[in-house]
C-alpha cells in the first residue's frame, strides 16, 4: 500500500546539534586556513502549477521505492510538531576534510589557496547574501536556515535580475559557481554535503546541477538536485549529501560546481541559495531519515497527508508511517526497514525489508496502519534501522483524531495558529481550497474557513464544494449562501449548507472558498506546505499569467479550509409552526429586498421575541412584543446583505415558529 513517487523535502533548518560543523571549519581555518504570509498578497506570487502536471501522481500504494539516486536530500528540521526535528546522529563523528561557510563571499573561508569563481552569461548573479532573495516574487522568502547562516551564504537571485511586471520581458538566466581546487589525495572515501534552498520558474526542463571535476574543469560528473521538485515550488532549507568517492577519492585537484540551468537558459525567476559546503570522510555504515510521513492511503494520489482526521474516517483506513532511508555509507544497508510507533498506544509496526546500496535510498511504509479507538492528539515515532543496527535518528509526527473536522492545514500545530495568509479576490474571482478523500460515507454539514484579519469589513464570501473524478475533472456538487465574513475576521467560520451533503466512500472532494471581483478584499489563513494534489486555486476570470478562465492551479501552501461533519450545524427546517400557540404566521413578500410584512395571531395572549439570524447562527435583528394576540407590521432590515436568513418567534418556552427569509 502507499505513496506518490515524488517526495519533496520542504522544511526549515535549525542550528540544533550543528556546533560540530562550525568547530571543524574554524579549526581548519586556523591551521591552514548549511507559503504567510508565505503566500504573497499578490495572486501572481502564489506558488502555482498547472493542474494537468499534477495528475501524474502514482495511484498505487507500493511498499518500496528504490532508486539509484546518488543525491540524497535530508530535511534538517520541520516547521512544527506535525513533523518534528530530525537530527543527523549517524554522522556526528564524521571526519571533515574541507568546508566552506562563505563568511568571506567568493574570497572563501576554507583551506584552499584560491577563491571561488563564477562563469556563464549570468554568472555575476552569484552573490554573497545575508537576508534572502530580493526579487518581486521572492520578498517574503527570508534567510537561508543553514548551519552558519549568521555568516552569510551565496545566492543566484534570478528573480531580482528580472524586475518589472511584464512577463514577456523576463530573461532566462544561466550561471555557475565553482569552488577553488580541493586536495583529496589520500582520502579514498569522501562525501559532499551542503545546505540549500531553491525555487524556479517556469518550466520543468530547468535543472539545478552539482558537478565534480578532477581534470581542471575539462569534464564534469554532474548530479541533478531538483529532480524531485517541480516548477514554482519553494523547496525550503534542506541538506543534500552526495557520495563522490568514485569520482574524487584520492584526487589532489577537485572542483565542485553549482550550476543554475545546467549551462542552458531555462528559468527566468526565483533563486538558489547555497551554504556550508562540506567534504567529509564517508563512514562505512551511515543512514539518515531523509523524510518521515504519517499518511492515509489514497487510490488516486497514492497517499494523502492530513493533520486532523474524523474518527469515522480514520477507523476505516488507518494511519501508515513511512520514511525515506538514505544510505550515506560505503557499505550496503542489509534488510533496512522503517519502524513506526504510536506513543501511549500498543502499536508498533515495520515495513518490508530492503537492501539499500551505497548512494541509494528507499521510501518504505509500515505494512499495517494504526487504527485509533478514540479522538485525541497522537504522536508517532518513525525511524529506520537494518540488520547491522545502523539506525537513523527518530522523527516525531503529530496528528489529531477529531470528532468532526477534516483538515490538511497545520494551524493546530503552530504556536500562533496561523502560518500566513492568501488573498482570495485581489486578482479577479478565484476559488481556493483543499482536497479530501472520503473513506466512509458521512453527511457533510459545512466547510470551515479561517478568515484572516486582512479581510475588508464589508467583505462577503461563500464556499463551493466540487468533486474530483478519476479523469482529473472537477465537478460541481453544492455551495453555501453568501456570508458577511468581514464581521468575522480572525475567526474560524463554518459556511453551513442549507441541506447536508451526503458524501460517499471513495469520493474525492475539493472544498473551496470564493469571493467575487477585486473588492471588498477577502483573505484566508494558510498553514503548512502540502504535497502534490493537496491544495488548489481555480482562476474563474483567467487573470493568471497566460491563464485560461476556469483553469485549476496547484498551490504549494495549504489554505486553512476544512470539512466539518458536525450535525449540530444543520440548518433548521426553514418553515415550522407550533399550532398549539399560533393561529397564523405570515411573512410576505418572501423573497424580498429587506422590507417585508409580518403577521402573527396567537391562541392566547403571550410575550413574543422576533429574531433574525444569518446561516452562521449570528443574530442580526431582535424585537420584543408584549401581550400579543394579533400583530401586523412592516419590518425593515434592508441594511442586511443579500442571502438567506432565519426568522424565528420565541416565547418563554422556546422557539414557536421558524421561517426562511430570503433577502435579494
Residue for grid cell 491544495:
535
Maximum mean pLDDT: which of 191-205, 432-446, 464-478, 575-589 = 432-446
Report the candidate in 524, 504, 394, 387 with the shortest Cα–Cα distance to residue 461. Answer: 524
pTM beyond 0.95: no
Q: What is the CATH number of the domain that holds 394?
A: 2.60.40.10
Average pLDDT, the chain: 82
With beta carbons less than 8 A apart as the criterion, state whether 406 and 563 touch: yes
Q: What is the mean pLDDT of residues 301-326?
A: 94
- 124 three-class SS: helix
Asked if the structure places residue 623 within a domain, the reply is yes
CA pair distance 587, 15, nearest whole angstrom: 67
CA pair distance 190, 57, nearest whole angstrom: 35
With beta carbons less than 8 A apart as the criterion, state whether 368 and 69 touch: no
Report the candidate in 371, 227, 349 with the shortest Cα–Cα distance to residue 297. Answer: 371
The residues, ordered by sequence, that sit 6+ positions from 28 with a Cβ below 8 Å of its Cβ are 96, 98, 99, 110, 111
Which of residues 388 and 48 earns the better pLDDT score?
Answer: 388
CA pair distance 490, 493, nearest whole angstrom: 9
Tell me, yes or no, whether 322 and 218 share the same domain.
no
pLDDT digits (tens, 9 = 90+) for 321-379: 999 999 989 899 999 999 999 999 999 999 999 999 988 889 999 999 999 999 999 99
DSSP string, 579-614: TTTEEEEEEESSSBSSEEEEEEEEEEEEEEEEEEEE
Report the candidate in 561, 571, 636, 549 with the shortest Cα–Cα distance to residue 598. Answer: 636
Asked if the structure places residue 84 within a domain, the reply is no
For residue 191, pLDDT beyond 70: yes
Asked if the structure places residue 9 within a domain, the reply is no
* Residue where a domain terminates, one of 240, 264, 281: 281
For residue 662, pLDDT beyond 90: no
Report the candidate in 106, 20, 8 with the shortest Cα–Cα distance to residue 54. Answer: 8
Which of residues 39 and 133 earns the better pLDDT score?
Answer: 133
* Residue where a domain terminates, one of 402, 435, 464: 402
Instruction: Give the per-residue pLDDT at 620.
Output: 92
CA pair distance 339, 351, nearest whole angstrom: 7
Biggest alpha carbon distance in the chain? Answer: 104
Tell me, yes or no, whether 583 and 563 share the same domain.
no
Asked if the structure places residue 89 within a domain, the reply is no
Calculate the dihedral angle through the C-alpha atoms of 193, 195, 200, 203, rounding to the nearest 10 degrees. 20
Tell me, yes or no, whether 181 and 162 share the same domain.
yes
Instruction: Give the per-residue pLDDT at 553.
Output: 86
pLDDT digits (tens, 9 = 90+) for 464-482: 999 998 888 889 999 998 8
Assign 3-class secondary structure to 487-540: HCCCEEEEEEEEEEEECCCCCEEEEEEEECCCCCCCEEEEEEECCCCCEEEEEC
For residue 307, pLDDT beyond 80: yes
**How many residues are listed for the chain in this entry?**
664
For residue 75, pLDDT beyond 80: no
Q: Is 594 exposed, middle or buried (0-12, 13-18, 19+ CB in 10 A)?
A: middle
Residue for grid cell 540544533:
16
Q: What is the CATH number of the domain that holds 596?
A: 2.60.40.3080
Between β-strands 308-310 and 395-402, what pairing exists: parallel, antiparallel or unpaired? parallel
Report the candidate in 329, 177, 181 with the shortest Cα–Cα distance to residue 245. Answer: 329
Q: What is the CATH number of the domain that holds 418?
A: 2.60.120
pLDDT digits (tens, 9 = 90+) for 79-126: 223 333 333 333 334 589 999 999 999 999 998 988 999 999 999 999
Tell me, yes or no, whether 336 and 473 share the same domain.
no
Maximum mean pLDDT: which of 15-29, 30-44, 204-218 = 204-218
Q: What is the mean pLDDT of residues 28-48?
A: 27
Asked if the structure places residue 44 within a domain, the reply is no
Residue for grid cell 401586523:
632
| Total count of domains within the chain | 4
**pLDDT band at residue 48 under the 50/70/90 scheme:** very low
- 7 three-class SS: coil
With beta carbons less than 8 A apart as the criterion, state whether 527 and 411 touch: yes
Tell me, yes or no, whether 306 and 185 share the same domain.
no
CA pair distance 123, 322, nearest whole angstrom: 40
Lowest mean pLDDT across 47-56, 229-238, 609-618, 633-642: 47-56
Q: What is the CATH number of the domain that holds 241?
A: 2.60.120.260
Tell me, yes or no, whether 326 and 348 share the same domain.
yes
Given phi > 0 = left and psi -120 to 50 = alpha, else beta, which region is 105?
Answer: left
Angle (nearest 5°) at CA 422 between 56 and 157? 75
With beta carbons less than 8 A apart as the criterion, state whether 489 and 423 touch: no
DSSP string, 318-363: -BEEEEEEEE-SSSPEEEEEEEEEETTTTEEEE---EEE-TT-EEE
Q: What is the mean pLDDT of residues 526-552?
A: 82
Asked if the structure places residue 504 within a domain, the reply is yes
Instruction: Give the per-residue pLDDT at 55.
Output: 28
Report the candidate in 366, 406, 472, 338 with the shortest Cα–Cα distance to residue 59. Answer: 472
With beta carbons less than 8 A apart as the criterion, state whether 482 and 641 touch: yes
Beta bridge partners of 172: none
Q: What is the mean pLDDT of residues 50-78?
A: 32
For residue 29, pLDDT beyond 60: no
The grid coordinates of residue 337 equal: 526497514
Tell me, yes or no, whether 109 and 182 share the same domain.
yes
Report the candidate in 404, 503, 395, 526 with the shortest Cα–Cα distance to residue 454. Answer: 526
pLDDT digits (tens, 9 = 90+) for 492-526: 999 999 889 999 999 999 999 999 877 899 999 99
Tell me, yes or no, whether 114 and 257 share the same domain.
yes
CA pair distance 243, 359, nearest whole angstrom: 6
- Which stretch of DSSP H or E encloses residue 22? helix 19-31
Angle (nearest 5°) at CA 46 between 43 and 52? 110
For residue 9, pLDDT beyond 70: no
Instruction: Give the per-residue pLDDT at 406.
Output: 98
Instruction: Give the per-residue pLDDT at 275.
Output: 97
For residue 557, pLDDT beyond 50: yes
Q: What is the mean pLDDT of residues 456-466?
A: 94
For residue 597, pLDDT beyond 50: yes
Instruction: Give the per-residue pLDDT at 570.
Output: 73
The residues, ordered by sequence, that sit 6+ positions from 189 with a Cβ below 8 Å of its Cβ are 245, 249, 281, 282, 330
Report the candidate in 431, 516, 428 with the shortest Cα–Cα distance to residue 477. Answer: 431
Tell me, yes or no, whether 254 and 351 share the same domain.
no
- For the chain, percent of residues with pLDDT exceeding 70: 82
Instruction: Give the per-residue pLDDT at 362.
Output: 93
Tell me, yes or no, whether 382 and 452 share the same domain.
no
Tell me, yes or no, whether 252 and 340 share the same domain.
no
Instruction: Give the per-residue pLDDT at 235.
Output: 87
DSSP string, 148-173: TGGG-EEEEETTTTS-SS-GGG---B
Given phi > 0 = left and psi -120 to 50 = alpha, else beta, which region is 70?
Answer: left
**pLDDT band at residue 598 under the 50/70/90 scheme:** very high
Instruction: Give the per-residue pLDDT at 578.
Output: 64
* Residue where a domain terminates, one of 372, 402, 432: 402
The grid coordinates of residue 589 equal: 413578500
Tell me, yes or no, whether 250 and 108 share the same domain.
yes
Asked if the structure places residue 53 within a domain, the reply is no
- Look up the domain containing 303 and give its range: 287-402
With beta carbons less than 8 A apart as the criterion, state whether 463 and 495 touch: yes
pLDDT digits (tens, 9 = 90+) for 439-457: 999 999 999 999 999 999 9
Asked if the structure places residue 51 within a domain, the reply is no
Amino acid at each position: 500500500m502507499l505513496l506518490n513517487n515524488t517526495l519533496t523535502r520542504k522544511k526549515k533548518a535549525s542550528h540544533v546539534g550543528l556546533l560540530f560543523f562550525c568547530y571543524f571549519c574554524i579549526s581548519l581555518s586556523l591551521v591552514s586556513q548549511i507559503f504567510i504570509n508565505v503566500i504573497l498578497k499578490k495572486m501572481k506570487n502564489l506558488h502555482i502549477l498547472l493542474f494537468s502536471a499534477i495528475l501524474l501522481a502514482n495511484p498505487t500504494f507500493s511498499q518500496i521505492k528504490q532508486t539509484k539516486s546518488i543525491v540524497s536530500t535530508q530535511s534538517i528540521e520541520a516547521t512544527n510538531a506535525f513533523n518534528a526535528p530530525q537530527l543527523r546522529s549517524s554522522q556526528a563523528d564524521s571526519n571533515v576534510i574541507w568546508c566552506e561557510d562563505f563568511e568571506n563571499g567568493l574570497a572563501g573561508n576554507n583551506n584552499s589557496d584560491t577563491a571561488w569563481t563564477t562563469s556563464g552569461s549570468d554568472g555575476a548573479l552569484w552573490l554573497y547574501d545575508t537576508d534572502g532573495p530580493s526579487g518581486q516574487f521572492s520578498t517574503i522568502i527570508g534567510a537561508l536556515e543553514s548551519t552558519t547562516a549568521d555568516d552569510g551564504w551565496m545566492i543566484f537571485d534570478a528573480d531580482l535580475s528580472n524586475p518589472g511586471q511584464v512577463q514577456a520581458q523576463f530573461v532566462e538566466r544561466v550561471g555557475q559557481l565553482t569552488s577553488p581546487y580541493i586536495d583529496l589525495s589520500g582520502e579514498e572515501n569522501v562525501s559532499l554535503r551542503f545546505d540549500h534552498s531553491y525555487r524556479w520558474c517556469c518550466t520543468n526542463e530547468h535543472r539545478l546541477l552539482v558537478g565534480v571535476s578532477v581534470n581542471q574543469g575539462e569534464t564534469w560528473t554532474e548530479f541533478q538536485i531538483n529532480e524531485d521538485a517541480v516548477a514554482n515550488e519553494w523547496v525550503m532549507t534542506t541538506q543534500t549529501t552526495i557520495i563522490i568517492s568514485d569520482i574524487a577519492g584520492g584526487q589532489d585537484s577537485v572542483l565542485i560546481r553549482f550550476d543554475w540551468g545546467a549551462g542552458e537558459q531555462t528559468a527566468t525567476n526565483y533563486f538558489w541559495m547555497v551554504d556550508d559546503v562540506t567534504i567529509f570522510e564517508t563512514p562505512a555504515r551511515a543512514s539518515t531519515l531523509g523524510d518521515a510521513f504519517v499518511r492515509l492511503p489514497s487510490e488516486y494520489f497514492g497517499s494523502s497527508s492530513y493533520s486532523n482526521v474524523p474518527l469515522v474516517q480514520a477507523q476505516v483506513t488507518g494511519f501508515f508511517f513511512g520514511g525515506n532511508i538514505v544510505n550515506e555509507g560505503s557499505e550496503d544497508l542489509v534488510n533496512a526497514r522503517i519502524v513506526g510507533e504510536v506513543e501511549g498506544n500498543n502499536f508498533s509496526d515495520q515495513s518490508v525489508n530492503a537492501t539499500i546500496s551505497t548512494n541509494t535510498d528507499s521510501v518504505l511504509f509500515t505494512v499495517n496502519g494504526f487504527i485509533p479507538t478514540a479522538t485525541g492528539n497522537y504522536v508517532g515515532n518513525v525511524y529506520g534501522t537494518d540488520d547491522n543496527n545502523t539506525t537513523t535518528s527518530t522523527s516525531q509526527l503529530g496528528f489529531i483524531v477529531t470528532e468532526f473536522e477534516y483538515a490538511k492545514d497545520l494551524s493546530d500545530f503552530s504556536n500562533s495558529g496561523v502560518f500566513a495568509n492568501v488573498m482570495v479576490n485581489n486578482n479577479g474571482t478565484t476559488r481556493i481550497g483543499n482536497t479530501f478523500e472520503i473513506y466512509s460515507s458521512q453527511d457533510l454539514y459545512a466547510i470551515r474557513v479561517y478568515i484572516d484579519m486582512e479581510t475588508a469589513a464589508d467583505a462577503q464570501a461563500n464556499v463551493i464544494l466540487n468533486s474530483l473524478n478519476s479523469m482529473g475533472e472537477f465537478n460541481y456538487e453544492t455551495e453555501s449562501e453568501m456570508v458577511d465574513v468581514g464581521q468575522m475576521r480572525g475567526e474560524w467560520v463554518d459556511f453551513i449548507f442549507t441541506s447536508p451533503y451526503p458524501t460517499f466512500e471513495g469520493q474525492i472532494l475539493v472544498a473551496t472558498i470564493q469571493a467575487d471581483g477585486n473588492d471588498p478584499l477577502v483573505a484566508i489563513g494558510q498553514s503548512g506546505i502540502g504535497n502534490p494534489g493537496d491544495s488548489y486555486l481555480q482562476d474563474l476570470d483567467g487573470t493568471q499569467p497566460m491563464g485560461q478562465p476556469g483553469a485549476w492551479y496547484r498551490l504549494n501552501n495549504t489554505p486553512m479550509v476544512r470539512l466539518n461533519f458536525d450535525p449540530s450545524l444543520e440548518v433548521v427546517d426553514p418553515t415550522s409552526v407550533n399550532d398549539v400557540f399560533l393561529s397564523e404566521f405570515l411573512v410576505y413578500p418572501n423573497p424580498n429586498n429587506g422590507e417585508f410584512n409580518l403577521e402573527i395571531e396567537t391562541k392566547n395572549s403571550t410575550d413574543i421575541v422576533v429574531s433574525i439570524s444569518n446561516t452562521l447562527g449570528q443574530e442580526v435583528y431582535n424585537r420584543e412584543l408584549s401581550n400579543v394576540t394579533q400583530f401586523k407590521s412592516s419590518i425593515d432590515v434592508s441594511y442586511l446583505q443579500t442571502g438567506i436568513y432565519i426568522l424565528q418567534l420565541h416565547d418563554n418556552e422556546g422557539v414557536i415558529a421558524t421561517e426562511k427569509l430570503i433577502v435579494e
